[in-house]
Structure formats: C-alpha cells, structure tokens
Structure 1
C-alpha cells in the first residue's frame, strides 16, 4: 500500500502526511518555500515538481526509504471533526471548484435526488436552508463510510484517523501531530526541529485556503448545524477522531482541543 497522501520536501528536511481539510494547502506551501525561497505559483495540490509526493511515481521510492528509516522529522495536522465536516459540505458540495465545475461531476445531482440536499442553485449563490441540507449531507456521509453506498467515502470527509493510520500501518512514525486551531504554535514546533534551506517566518506566511470563496458563506454558528441526531451520526463516523485527537464531542461550539495528542496512544491504536 505504501504511503498515500505523503509529501516530502526535495531536500528531505521534513515529511508530512496530508489530512484533507486540515490546513494542507498552507503546510504544503510552507514546505515548498522552505526549500525554494518562493511559494508555488498556484494550488500546491497541483504541483508536480519541486516537492516529493506519493502520487508522483518517481517520488515513491525516496519517500518509502525515508519514512521506513525514519530519516526525517514526520508530522501531520488535525482539525475539529465538527468544523471539518461542515467545511467539506460548504466547499465540496455547495461550492464551485477551481475548474469552474461541481466537485466530482454528478455527485451533487445524486445528492439532490437521493437525499434532498440543496446547494444554492447552479452557482451556489441562491438562498437555501443550510442547516437542513447539511444534516442530510451527514446522513450521506455516514452511508458512504458505513456501507460504501451510494459511493466510496471521499477523502475530504472520511475520518482523520483513517488518513493518519496508513502512515503508521506501513512503517512510519510521527514526531508531531498538531492542531489546525493552534496552527502557528504547532507548525513552529516542526520548523524548530528541522533544518530548512530558507528561513520561514510564520507571521509573514499568508494562509493558503484553496477552498475559500468556493461555496456559500456559513450563516449560523457551528453548534446550530448539529441537533441530537446529527451529533449521533458524527459520533458514529468520527468517534475515534474525537478520542485520539482530544476534541470536545459534548460541545460543538468549542472548536479547541481539550488536551495535547498522545503520540504513543495514536501509534498504538492506529498501528494495528
């Protein structure tokens, strides 16, 4: 299986396991800058040179050798499951993507037909009941994860623990797992631990949010989207994420983690 979703700087200064919807655009750009002194011109997910990625066949042997030998500092970044799944809905389901089209082509028509989800019309700008549509999206999310119907789960809303675990299961070990909600603090720990060709000043780094502006603006506080049934579904889908990454399931209004990630626990529980 190898190391899907793993990126490494060309200089091999650092290895990163991408977790979608968890500041991955900003992290990728910081890695690129640390090697080249410039940011990648465009979305870092589109870069096919200047960085090693598991998706690039020529990079795979180098990544595998590095990760299995734990030659470089390895890290990942996680996010509150409530805000992550909400962000996936507004970006991927309601939003128009970089190519000017809907995400995954016929996905939205399928959701409209099977789950009654509204997305704000053709361009995502019409008014619609965001809360009702999001709750229906959660049902769809649960169905994809539990039964792989009507399709396989998508990387943007499948559990973070699943992404994080492939790295461990295939012989990798993390030195750091930090929170999107405490981004500068966590990223600084990584930068302090590695040697980079170009110094990175986090205060001057723009936030690269590739999903910003894709979809309609969220109109309500996070907690308004999650009634009892929604929270039951969220627990069913993301129970492990809440437990391992120390997020507050009981209070959707609290996006901050309740404690630090216990790396030994993560490796023990996700390594089997």
Structure 2
C-alpha cells in the first residue's frame, strides 16, 4: 500500500513539474490583446506601480481607481477576461516586459509584509520552533526560506523568476524598479511604447514607513523588537540595516536564480 502511495506521489510531483513548465501563471501577468502588450509582475517588486503604469497606458487607470484605490482589485477582475498564454509570450507580435526588484530590498519587504499581514506563518513558526511572529527575525525568515522549495513558495516571498522564463520564453525588456524612469525612457526609444509616471501612479497601500538608521544591524532582531511608530505600527529601519554577512549569504543563496536572471549585485 505504501509503495503504491509513493508511486502516486511521485507521479503527481512529476505532473505538477511538467505543468509548471507550460502553464503561465495568470496572477503574474497583465495582458491587452488589443494593444499586443504583456506585463510581468511579482508581489513586493513594484507590482502596484507597474499595474498602474499598464492601465494608464491603456487609458483605464481612472476607471480602475474609481472602482478601488487598491489597483489589484481591478487587475484581478480584468484578468478574468484577459488571459495570457505561452504562445502570446513567445510571439513577436506582442511586446512583453517585466518589472523586477533587487532581491536584497525585496527580501526585506517580503519579510516585513509577511509579519504584518495575514499570510500564513504556521510552517514558518513550526520550522523555527517559535510560538509568535514577534520572535521571528529577518535572519530567521531567510533560514526558513532556505529550507523550502522556492518554486512552490507563496508568491509574496517566492522567486520573481518563473519556471519557464529564460527557457520557453524571454521578456522583450526587463525593467528594474530601481531605475524605473530610465527604463521607461529606453522602452519608449527602442520600442515606441510610452508610459507616463503621474502622481497617482506612485504609492501603495502596502507601503511601510521607513525610519533612519540607528547604526545597528537588525538582521537578528525579532520582529516584535523592531522600531515602532506611536500608533504601534512598524517603522522599518533602512534596508542596509538588515544585512550582515550571514544574512547576505542566505539571501544570495535563496534568490540565486533572480540574481542571475536579472543581473543584480549587492548595492544598498
């Protein structure tokens, strides 16, 4: 019986791996077939700004924000009738681009977002042997990520790179969040696609206020001991304060594929 169960489990695992290679995750894309335009996004990688840029280009931003200031409510509804395929991503008739972010800053944002929101922390706490999220440091969080299959991880802290990316297809342009305006200018010059960064495009309801550096590394500081504002919400230290050599090594190991695919180096 156990042998049969193992065989079935192996078969299921093989099926899902095969599926990953050919099925494009709809939640990670926005497409306009009318405009032959595809945007690739990842949570915690400027997806709010990117979504606003996309819908602004289509002339739909006002409509989207009227529905809800949280642009993703409109995006979720929009994608139900606008699905992207591997054929679309591989077609020279479509212009595809993806917004990405440095794994160093994204890892910190993924950590604080996971701690602040309702994302399940059951497996995380079990792995660490903790009873509360307030005990979890950035270093602890990265240790947990190093123990799981990042291809199957929650997309708020999983890899930006898709299974098929760089193999079955490549985006026409990779737009780095850290050089957004320069990248958009290059897209306009090279591809003739103009995206406008209006005031309403910037900003996110997920934004965490940043504090000044106290000069101390907080890589191993429990979440509950990080600086707080007067209302008790997080006042996040600068990204660089979360890094010591061990934390940096963990991030580089966990997000190695993102570093290699998007050509990022240590720069905080």
* Cα distance in 2, alignment partners of residues 167 and 63 from structure 1: 13
Q: Please give the per-residue CA displacement for 1:62-106, whole angstroms capped at 9, x wherever unaligned.
A: 644432322121111221111101000111x2213xxxxx12xxx
Please state how far the C-alpha of 1:33 moved relative to its aligned partner: 2.0
Q: TM-score, normalised by structure 2?
A: 0.68
Establish whether residue 226 from structure 1 lines up as the match of residue 243 from structure 2: yes
Give 2:48's aligned residue: 25
Equivalenced residues, count: 217
Give 2:95's aligned residue: 73
From 196, 217, 220, the counterpart of 2:235: 217
Q: Please give the per-residue CA displacement for 1:37-80, whole angstroms capped at 9, x wherever unaligned.
A: 533123333226774x3xx3x433x6444323221211112211
Please state how far the C-alpha of 1:138 moved relative to its aligned partner: 0.6
Structure with greater Cα Rg: 2
In structure 1, the gaps of 5 or more residues are 97-101, 121-127, 256-272
Cα RMSD over matched residues? 3.1
**Matches of residues 103-118 of structure 1 in structure 2 within 5 Å?**
103=119, 107-115=120-128, 116=130
Q: TM-score, normalised by structure 1?
A: 0.67
Give 2:10's aligned residue: none
Give 1:125's aligned residue: none
From 72, 78, 83, the counterpart of 1:45: 72
Assess if the C-alpha contact under 8 Å between 2:37 and 2:96 holds in 1. Answer: yes
In structure 2, the gaps of 5 or more residues are 1-21, 210-232
Bigger relative contact order (CA 8 A; separation at least 6): 1
| Structure 2 CA distance for partners of 1:65 and 1:229, relative to 1, 3 Å | closer
From 135, 139, 142, the counterpart of 1:135: 139
